[in-house]
Amino acid sequence: MPNRDRHHDSVRHALEKDGWVITDDPLRLRWGKKDMYVDLAADKLLLASKNKQQIAVEIKTFGGASSIADAQQSLGQYFIYLSVMRRLEPERRLYLALHEEVYEDFFTEPLGEILLSDYNVPLLIFDPEQEVILRWIS
């Protein structure tokens, strides 16, 4: 299994505070002979409709020498997981979890904006110190 992101526990606690039940930590995906691990999977009961919402969350911290290289690695991993999840768990929506500073520094800039717009990547923006979800961007 891969190493956990340094904000793994903060995102887990933020989801739990928001009413999510963590079902997998990590969520194991297998396609062919390849194993992949999405950081978290969670369910939330929607009381009005009595339906269950299911998500998976891949947590990313941009800490490398280049934010472009970090984005390439993060988005590449996201799309590999997305392709497999669409076949194995099509009801589960995959989110990319980003620290607020990473979102503000990269994804509100022109390059980040076109990547999000062109590829429609759902984001979960979190504050690791407060362990809260600041916003969902779908």
Confirm whether 54 is domain-assigned.
Answer: no
pLDDT 10s per residue in the chain (138 long)? 678 889 999 999 999 999 999 999 999 999 999 999 999 999 998 766 567 899 999 999 898 889 999 999 999 999 999 999 999 999 999 999 999 999 999 999 999 999 999 999 999 999 999 999 999 998
Confirm whether 125 is domain-assigned.
Answer: yes
The pLDDT of residue 48: 60
> pTM value?
0.93
The pLDDT of residue 1: 65
CATH classification of the domain holding 95: 3.40.1350.10
The pLDDT of residue 45: 84
Number of domains in the chain: 1
Confirm whether 55 is domain-assigned.
Answer: no
CA-based nearest residue to 41, from 81, 83, 101, 99: 81
The pLDDT of residue 64: 86
CA-based nearest residue to 112, from 50, 61, 81, 70: 70
Range of the domain at 107: 19-45+64-137
Confirm whether 51 is domain-assigned.
Answer: no
